[in-house]
Chain A
Amino acid sequence: MTRREWMAAAAAAGLAPRVRAAAVPSSPVALARCPAYDGGVLTSLRRMFDQIGGIGRLVSGKTVAVKINMTGSLRARTGYRAAWNTRWSHPVVIGAAVHLIGEAGARRIRVVEGSSEDDHPLEEDFLIGGWDPADVLGAASNVEMENTGFLGNGKEYKRLEVAGGGLIYSAFDVNHSYAECDAMVSIAKLKEHELAGLSLTLKNMVGIAPGTVYGDSAGYDQPAARPYGARTMFHIGNRQPPEGTPPEKNPNSPREFGYRVPRIAIDLVRARPVDLAIIDGIETQTGASGAAVDEGVKRQMRLVAPGVLVASRNPVCADAAAAAVMGFDPMAARGRAPFESCDSTLELAEQAGIGTRDLKGIEVLGARIADVRMPFRQG
């Protein structure tokens, strides 16, 4: 009996190592050393997908949405380093994932990201970022891209209800791509985040909320035509979305970002569950957007090359393992790194029943966490 089989049997029999781990789902996490954005990425991801049980049943004959991360300005770099190597999902990782999803029989693959600054086709935003989208579009057959920061190719926004009723919002209006897909893949970068502690596959899903509805350009009577600006209403709750869009459940709840952003991330994941989580930790920057802003937080902005990839069918398990790779305790509550100034997204996700964050209940396959750990904090 393998460890994975034992754990599944133990969970079914109520014999899992901890009550917490038995109470919420757990999926194996594959970890791989991958030092560079080259052909080794495809080889590694292929092996990792096998390790987590394969993706054939998940994607075969299905429409698959691949949510990548292209946060922040398209025309900004950290120093001279391209955003692909610092804060965005790298196209080589995206291309490898798309290739394998196609190989596993996906009927259609749509690579999606919501721009916060324009209504361009996503292909154009790739070019602005300095990468030829053909590399991704040609990685499998029937691959397309869509900028989901606005209506895009849809005629109307689609409403996604939050399972369980939601923590902040009960439903979201989103680009049609998120309602049309049968399977959802979240490809994140390995990095910290000043508003959510971690910016991994759970936080990546905040990007499915269109800027035209939830961004600074959103109208009050109706969504804007074009997205622009941050999702400030998510951060500080300064306003409600446009009329006709489901408002917050409780407008008297705390307006503090550290309370809101982690909860909204969880709401979005419960509205559009993540079926496959992939984290690009080959090259990155330690912080998503600048150094620490809060007193007592030792978050730094450094360019690092952990040389690691993470994959799991469960985004909480993937993010928990990735947090450990970054040198953090995924069981940390608010007040402890990386959650000094916000509630723990991992804890909220666990409480919501999405998945366990307890490494004792997560089977890690491939590389050992201890062998690939690269602490993001120094000193």
Chain B
Amino acid sequence: MPELIPFRWPASWTDAAKLDLLKGTAINCIAGEAPPPFPLGDLPFVKLDADHPPEGIALRDGVWPQVLAPTRKDAAGGGATGGPWVDSNASVVRLAKVMEPGKMVWLTYTPPGGKDVVPMDSFVKPITEAEAFGGHWVIALDAFMAEQVAKREEKALSQWQRMMAGLRFTAARRDRRAWEPVAPLAVASTFAGDDKLLSEEFLNLAPRRHLAYRALRAADVAGASFAKQKAVLYLENTPPEGAVRAKLLEFAQAGGLLIAPLGTVDSPPEERRMEHTVRRAGKGRIAMPLEKWEDPFTLVDQVHVLVSHREDPVQVWNGSDMDLFYVTSPKEDQAVTHLIPYASGSTLPITLSYRKAWRRARVVTLNGATAAQPVQGQLGMEIAVPEFTDYAVVELEA
């Protein structure tokens, strides 16, 4: 059975003739709370019910991806530090895949309603964002866009075709979903209980500082390999116990950096760094906070320094409102970096710097591919990414 690509049928599309709009597209199912009042032909209907999710599918709400502009000059329209506030679904999709392995993740949010005007050209990003992280957005048009597409208005139709091109683009590259994130840091947590907000927000905010991570459930720590990680953050305010604790201490003893809650060990610290105490443990180190962790954004920044920006597998300049997702093939002879800008319009000129010396690179957007010549920078191989909108992927070969 082919993978389901869901579309939420607009309320204003009251006749089956509109099904013609889906012909020749990658959309192959209708999803919603209730089916449209007419036969759907070959298209299956999938009921979106969070209490009874469809088999093999993990449902998540998600948010309309965007940068929120400040409403007043002095207002907190920005992030925790005054930087841009980005509504992103990256961590929602990635965490859902961790918590419900083997399932496809569907994001069920709809375009913002009320007084918010949704520009017609902003419907591509929700599609490419979800697809980049290995999920699907249940494609939904707002009333205006649905009406204009139904009327086959030129601009609306052009954007609709661009949306469908986005689906085709990502569908052609699905084999990369299984590729592993290149990340110096593993973040282990129950992602539940008292620290649920802390841990989920940590993953949400890590991309704002371009801190690359791999997430895993606390329950999976004992059986996990951390061979490709420099550091493990055990993101609970209660110290690990039993086999989990043993595995984490073993990681530190072997040379890794374990960042763990207060009370994990009682050996005396050798230094204080970024509101944490750090002590030696075998060949490695263990860092613990001076006080219980509370603020996820501050913690992201502290953890990034504890691990060190030196370990960043890829750096980006002029991409503060952008999510990067850098994954590599099992043989590590190929890799891609998904670039998802959240601001509207064209990006600035983006520079990426890779620690690994990739031999060949090309930048692919919905408009086509261009070869990029890696240039040796001071800390890595730099690649200049031309300005683009919505989505780009940098394809790398060793």
Q: B-contacting residues of A (Cβ < 8 Å)?
A: 73, 75-77, 79-80, 82, 117-121, 124, 127-128, 130-132, 216-217, 226, 228-229
Interchain CB contact under 8 A, A76 and B318: yes
Interchain CB contact under 8 A, B309 and A127: yes
Cβ distance A120 to chain B, nearest Cβ, rounded Å: 5
Chain B, residue nearest A131 (CB): B378
Contact mask for chain B residues 282-320; partner A; CB cutoff 8 A; 1 contact, 0 none = 000000000000000010010001001110100111111
Interchain CB contact under 8 A, B318 and A77: yes
Q: A-contacting residues of B (Cβ < 8 Å)?
A: 81-82, 210, 273-274, 298, 301, 305, 308-310, 312, 315-320, 349, 351, 353, 377-379, 384
| Neighbour of B317 across the interface among A77, A228, A229, CB < 8 A | A77
Interchain CB contact under 8 A, A130 and B349: no
A118 contact set on B, CB distance < 8 A: 301
Cβ distance B120 to chain A, nearest Cβ, rounded Å: 30
Cβ distance B271 to chain A, nearest Cβ, rounded Å: 11
Interchain CB contact under 8 A, B319 and A75: yes
Q: List 27 A-B pairs, Cβ < 8 Å.
A: A73-B320, A75-B316, A75-B317, A76-B317, A76-B320, A77-B317, A77-B351, A79-B349, A80-B351, A80-B384, A82-B317, A120-B301, A124-B308, A124-B309, A127-B308, A127-B310, A128-B309, A128-B315, A130-B353, A130-B377, A131-B379, A132-B310, A132-B378, A132-B379, A216-B82, A217-B82, A228-B82
A79 contact set on B, CB distance < 8 A: 349
Expressed in whole angstroms, the Cα–Cα distance for A75 and B318 within the complex equals 6
A131 contact set on B, CB distance < 8 A: 378-379
A75-B316, A76-B318 in contact; A121/B351 too (CB < 8 A)?
no
A121 contact set on B, CB distance < 8 A: 273, 305
Chain B, residue nearest A229 (CB): B82
| Max count, chain A CB within 10 A of own CB: residue among B312, B315, B353 | B315
Cβ distance B275 to chain A, nearest Cβ, rounded Å: 9
A229 contact set on B, CB distance < 8 A: 82
Pick the 9 closest A-B CB pairs, nearest first.
A127-B309, A77-B317, A80-B384, A228-B81, A131-B378, A79-B349, A124-B305, A80-B351, A80-B349
| Neighbour of A117 across the interface among B81, B309, B318, CB < 8 A | B81
A-B contacts at CB below 8 angstroms, number: 57
A226 contact set on B, CB distance < 8 A: 298
Expressed in whole angstroms, the Cα–Cα distance for A36 and B377 within the complex equals 15
Cβ distance A236 to chain B, nearest Cβ, rounded Å: 12
Cβ distance B3 to chain A, nearest Cβ, rounded Å: 36
Interchain CB contact under 8 A, B301 and A127: no
A217 contact set on B, CB distance < 8 A: 82
Interchain CB contact under 8 A, A75 and B82: no
Interchain CB contact under 8 A, A130 and B315: yes
Interchain CB contact under 8 A, A127 and B379: yes
B274 contact set on A, CB distance < 8 A: 119-120
A132-B378, A229-B82 given. 10 additional CB < 8 A pairs? Answer: A75-B320, A76-B320, A77-B349, A82-B317, A119-B274, A121-B273, A127-B310, A130-B317, A130-B353, A217-B82
Cβ distance B397 to chain A, nearest Cβ, rounded Å: 22
Interchain CB contact under 8 A, A130 and B378: yes
Cβ distance A285 to chain B, nearest Cβ, rounded Å: 14
A117 contact set on B, CB distance < 8 A: 81
B349 contact set on A, CB distance < 8 A: 77, 79-80
Chain A, residue nearest B383 (CB): A80
Cβ distance A118 to chain B, nearest Cβ, rounded Å: 7
B379 contact set on A, CB distance < 8 A: 127, 130-132
B309 contact set on A, CB distance < 8 A: 124, 127-128
Cβ distance A91 to chain B, nearest Cβ, rounded Å: 8
A75 contact set on B, CB distance < 8 A: 210, 316-320
| Max count, chain B CB within 10 A of own CB: residue among A79, A130, A217, A228 | A130
